Structure formats: structure tokens, C-alpha cells
Chains A and B, each alone.
Chain A
Amino acid sequence: MSRTVTTQRKAINTALAWGIGLLIFFPILWTFLTSFKTEATAIADPPVFLFFDWTLENYSVVTERSDYARFLWNSIFIAGGSTILGIIVAVPAAWSMAFVPSHRTKDILLWMLSTKMLPAVGVLYPIYLLFIKMGLLDSRLGLTLVLMLINLPIIVWMLYTYFREIPGEILEAARMDGATLRSEIIYVLTPMAVPGIASTLLLNFILAWNEAFWTLNLTAAKAAPLTAFIASYSSPEGLFYAKLSAASTMAIAPILILGWFSQKQLVRGLTFGAVK
């Protein structure tokens, strides 16, 4: 009897999980489907779900009108560069906070996080002027630096949490065996924190890939990434939803595929602290 109840509960939980999952995924699915419709079908009322004349015309128009490869390369450069740069800065910072904390460490961590509480537009103008002075407007390097700085608090916090799970005695043992600080971080700490570092890398790559405020405000033609590519298909006067959906699908496809293949690593890293 109790077994039947368990099965029922399992079935309900499974159905609930699938329902919530599909609900969250539905906007992406709808965007994907709309990208294969004509503009007239895209706004049809009642909406058409699967049974329509599928067309690749929107993709053909979008690739003809925009240099997709350039936008893609800019996204890869900016997201990848800012993430790697962030990790290089954050690993030593998180190490010092996790293994040689001072009485101010908690305050510093909170202060770092507090910078995320300021609305980005509040510092837009100063950063814009700095970029003009430094010749960084519409450059991949400038955006890489800005996105690295913006995501740094999250990177440090995540790495700090992972490092705290690693017993300090292991590092002490390495030190007693004569390891220098550099070798301790590179050869002892980093290999043990690989799942955490990997998930931090992935999460920040995704955050930088999707970042739309700074990428739209600090770029023009040369350094514009895929967020600007999507924005160029938004129109207040004219119904171009099918083309906008095709552009959106092309922009999110690379990151979606990356996320799909690395989901095991991502989930493992994100639950690293919880399962210990």
C-alpha cells in the first residue's frame, strides 16, 4: 500500500517537475518555432503552434543583412576574455580570504557584493567618459575589462565558497613539503577545486555572454557582440517578430549548446558546497 503511495507521489513530482521545466523553457521554444514562421503567421490569432509552413527565409534574411560571424566572434572574445581574466584575478583573492582570513575579510566580501547592488546606469556616464579618454569606446578590450570587473564579485564569492570546503591541512602539508605559495595554489589547491572553478567559469561565461547593458552602450560597429545583433532586429514601427526570433535563436544557440554539453559539470559545481 505504502509502495503505491510512493509511486503516485513520484509520478506527481515527476509531472510537476516536467510541467515547471516546460513552463520555464516555453519562451525559448516559442522563439525557436516563431523563427521558422512567416511574419504573418508569427502574429496569427489564435497562435499557430506546429502546423504551419516551415520556412528558413528569416534565417536567410538575417544572415544576408548582418555579419553574424563578426558578432559571434566579438561575443566569444568578450565573454571568454572577461571570464579568464576574472579567474586569474579571483583565484589568489579567494585563496587569501579562505585560508588566511583577517578580521576584515567578511566586510571586504560584503563590500565587494555591494557593488552589484548599484544600478549599472548610475555609473554609465563616468565610465563612458573614461572610455573616451582611454580610447576604449567600441573596443573588445574595453568591454572585456568592464565585464570582468562587473562579474568579479560573483567569481570571488563562488571561489571563496568552494575553497572554504577544502581542508586547510592539505595546503599546510604541501607547505611542509616545501611547496611555494605559487605551487601551492597551482598544483595543490586548483586541482582540488576544479569542479568549482569549472562551474564558476561556465556561469560567468553565460553571464558575460548575455550582458546587454554595457555591450549596447559601449559599442558601435566594431566590437558589438550578439546582444547588439538581437537589438538591431527590434522595431517599434513594423512587425518583424519572425526575423527577431531568428536573430535571437542564432544568438542564444552557441551558449545553449555549451550549457547542454556541460550541464553535468555545471550542476556538480553549483551543488559542490551543499553535498559536502
Chain B
Amino acid sequence: MILRTLGMASVAALCAATFATAETTLTIATVNNGDMIRMQGLTDDFTAKHPDIKLEWVTLEENVLRQRVTQDIAAKGGQFDVMTIGTYEVPIWGAQNWLVSLNDLPAQWDVDDILPAIRGGLTIDGELYAAPFYAESSMVMYRKDLMEAAGMEMPEAPTWGDIENAAAAMTDKDNGVYGICLRGKAGWGENMAFLTAMSNSFGARWFDENWTAQFDTPEWKTTLSTYINLMTKYGPPGASTNGFNENLSLFQQGKCGMWIDATVAASFVTNPDDSTVADKVGFALAADAGLGKRGNWLWAWSLAIPAGSDATDEAKKFVAWATSKEYTALVAANQGWANVPPGTRKSLYENPEYAKVPFAEMTLNSINAADPNAPTVKPVPYTGVQFVAIPEFAGIATQVGQEFSAALAGQQTVDQALAKAQALTVDEMEAAGY
């Protein structure tokens, strides 16, 4: 009898212990950039509030992550509970029902506080499919000291003519200073992100309303000619292999008079630990050609939950925590306002403390200047500013990027590059059934 009682007590204790320690493990796939790494370092705050949820991180390079996550979600592998995805993927995957709707996040998460341009890019048919973690646009970063020395002033909203004049004035090749640094490395997220955004300001578009490719139009010729002219005359050598990191390195070492790229770069180039020109950087909106559209893009790294996750409720708790106002305050308290994830919430830009950050206002203005639903001058059948939100785009744009990169390297003319881009885009779109 005593043995039986002891046995039952043991079983009860074991059950209690099991229930007490029962926890859900969330596997989070993310990219290796400053804001994401910062979030990993602050998750003690989340696990303290949710002791029943354990977090496991899978950090991968952006392109590897994109391929892994696509493969897993398409094959229903269920390896990830939360994924970091971009503005390009959300409309495509949302339409396929691959993502869990986030319309039921708690009221205090305050969906109305999300900047409209960002929210619009993550919403399909009224369903919010991803919560923005940080957003970026592109803008002009330039050397104030070199402009002053040349007796020039950069307008707050320059035209492409202003950009060329500034580049010409700042170029001093004998001393290794190049007037302008732009992306030249081939890839849909590399040179084509910049060139597609730039083409919008010249009134070009990828497709007309009938999904016909438009590389044979004068607008694209003006775009590519302007780009090649700027880079050939005032750009650094070997520019056709330069991406974000290569240009960041050149700018930080004082070798670029001007760099037009992601707003997120502002915190790098103004960081005195890494940048030799930290106190000499000025900011301006991306250029225009007087047609009402600027050459800046819009991108948001966002957290989404794949439909195959078996811990949807716990994943929502994590997504709500990481993209909340409280998280912003947590980063500010730990690492200062300059390090909070930018570009997603109105309340951040209403905060007087954040307004003191030198690039805050320009980032907000740049984001507001981009409209993913009307990216260029003429009407288009797609959404996306520096991309076209269709599954075929990544493959086509990477091939087009290779042609444009070859033109920059001097291997072919602008006309040849545009003709090849037109032919391959027509072929691919026909094959895809458009």
C-alpha cells in the first residue's frame, strides 16, 4: 500500500514537473545585420515576460536566407516559426496563403501607428501578413567638407543635374577621391534596386499596363545613359563589382564625394568608430528629373509567420514584442536613440528625442516620398518601387542586372544592354504566361 502510494505520488510529481517545464521553442530565421543582431541581444526581455517560450535563432546571409525560407515554405518543411522577409516576398507569399494573417495582433500593438507607405506594402486584400521591424529608403549621402571646398551647396531635394555638378566638383582622382559611388554589382537587390528606383524618376517603368517589357523606351535609355555617364566620369575604378558593402567601405575611408544608397547606411557612415568622415556627412533626398517622382526606393525587413508553423500563437507574441513601441523604447534605453530600428512607426518620428538623430528627418521624408502602389510617372500593373512584386522578377532582374553591369564595365554599349534586357524580359514573361 505504501509502495503504491509512493508510486502514485512519484507519477503525480513527474507530471507536475513535466507541465511546469513544458515550453514552446520558436525557431526564428533572420539576416545578419545590425538591427537584427541587436534584437537577439535584447531577447531576455521577451523570455522574462514569456518564460514558457524558448527562442532559437538561425542567422543567414540575405540571399541564402531567402532561398532557404522559400524552399521550406514551398515544401511545407515547417522548420521556421518566425521569418525575416522583405517587402518583395510579402505580397507574393501572402497571395499564396503561405503566411499567417497578423490582423489579430493585440490592440496595444497599435497597427494605426505604422507608417502608411510601409503598412500598404505588407497588406494584401486587407490582411496584414508581416509586421515591419525596420524600414529603409534610399537617399544621397555626401561630403559636406568637399562641397564647401568646391564652393557648392547640395540642395535638400536635388535633381540629377545637381548630382552631376556636385560629382564633377568633388572628383579628385589624383588624390583618390571619386565624386560619386553607386551600386554596380549585378543582382536584383544590388544594381537593379538602384537602377529601377532611378528609372522611376525618369518616368521609365518595367512593364506597361499589358505587361509588355519597356526597356526599348527612351526613358530607360535616359536612365542607363545618365548612370553610365556619371559612373564613367566620376565613379571609382572597378565600379561594376561594387555593392553596398564595397561602397560603404569606400565612403567610410573618404574616397567617395557622394553615395546614393540605403538610408540604413547613415548610421554606419556617421559612426566615428568605423568612419573617417563621420562628422562630415550631409544628407539629401534622392534625385529627381522634374517629373514628380524621386529615385528612392522603399524596403522593410519584416517578421512573418509561415502557415506551416505549429506554434502560431507563441510566434505572434514574439512578433508583437519585436515590432512594438515598447521594443523601440527598450533599444533606446540600452543603446541610444540612434540605434532604434527606423522607419516603421509614426510615434518614433513624433518623439523629440529621436528628432535629434541627424538622419531621422531625411529618412522619414525619403520613405514618405516612395509609393509602392504608384512607383513611377505612368501607370503600372504591379506594386513595388525598386522591384516588381511577381515571382518571376528576381530571376529576370538578375539577368538584366548582368547586362547593365556589363555595360558599366565597358563590355557593351547602352543600346546593346537595353536590347538584350528587352529580349530576355519578353522571353521570360511569355514563358511565364503573361
Identify the A interface with B (CB < 8 A). 38-40, 43-45, 65, 124-125, 128-129, 132, 137-138, 216-217, 220-222, 224, 228, 231-240
Contacts and interface: CB of A to CB of B under 8 A. Distances in A.
Interface string B247-277: 0110011010000001011001000011100
Listed from nearest, the 7 A-B pairs whose CB atoms lie closest are: A232-B59, A221-B56, A234-B61, A235-B32, A220-B79, A43-B249, A236-B62
A43 B254 CA distance: 12
A45 B254 CA distance: 10
Contacts of B262: 237
Given A132-B75, A137-B77, A238 B60 contact: no
Interface residues of B, number: 42
Given A216-B68, A238-B33, A125 B75 contact: yes
Interface string B47-87: 00000000011111111100010010001111110000000
A239 B245 contact: yes
B37 interface: yes
A231 B60 contact: yes
B31 interface: yes
B386 to A, nearest CB: 14
Contact of A235 (B31, B71, B77): B31
26 contacts: A39-B274, A40-B252, A40-B274, A65-B37, A65-B40, A128-B75, A129-B75, A132-B78, A216-B68, A217-B71, A221-B58, A228-B60, A231-B60, A231-B61, A232-B60, A234-B64, A235-B32, A236-B189, A236-B243, A236-B244, A237-B33, A237-B265, A238-B34, A238-B245, A238-B268, A239-B249
Contact of A237 (B29, B78, B244): B244
A231 B41 CA distance: 19
B413 to A, nearest CB: 30
B240 interface: no
Contact of B32 (A43, A132, A240): A240
Contact of A217 (B34, B68, B76): B68
Contacts of A217: 68, 71
A235 B33 contact: yes
A224 B274 CA distance: 32
B328 interface: no
B268 A239 contact: yes
A233 B33 CA distance: 9
Given A220-B56, A232-B60, 8 more contacts: A40-B275, A125-B71, A128-B77, A232-B32, A235-B245, A237-B62, A237-B262, A239-B248
A234 B58 CA distance: 13
A65 B43 CA distance: 12
Contacts of B79: 137-138, 220
Interface in B1-45: 27, 29, 31-34, 37, 40-41
A122 to B, nearest CB: 14
A40 B252 CA distance: 9
B397 to A, nearest CB: 16
Given A39-B274, A43-B253, A220-B79, A236 B58 contact: no
A39 to B, nearest CB: 6
B209 to A, nearest CB: 34
Given A234-B32, A237-B264, A224 B58 contact: yes
A69 B78 CA distance: 26
Contacts of B58: 220-221, 224, 228, 232
B63 A236 contact: yes
Contacts of B56: 220-222
A232 B262 CA distance: 22
Contacts of A231: 60-61, 64
Contact of B64 (A128, A216, A224, A240): A216
A217 B69 CA distance: 10
Contacts of A238: 32-34, 245, 248, 268
B252 A233 contact: no
B88 to A, nearest CB: 14
B86 to A, nearest CB: 12
B61 A132 contact: no
A221 to B, nearest CB: 4
Interface in B212-262: 243-245, 248-249, 252-253, 255, 262
A221 B248 CA distance: 31
Contacts of B252: 40, 43, 239
A246 to B, nearest CB: 14
A3 B56 CA distance: 68
Contacts of B41: 65
Contacts of B265: 237
B27 to A, nearest CB: 5
A220 B80 contact: yes
Contacts of B64: 216, 231, 234
Contacts of A220: 27, 29, 56, 58, 79-80
Nearest to B265: A237
A236 B61 contact: yes
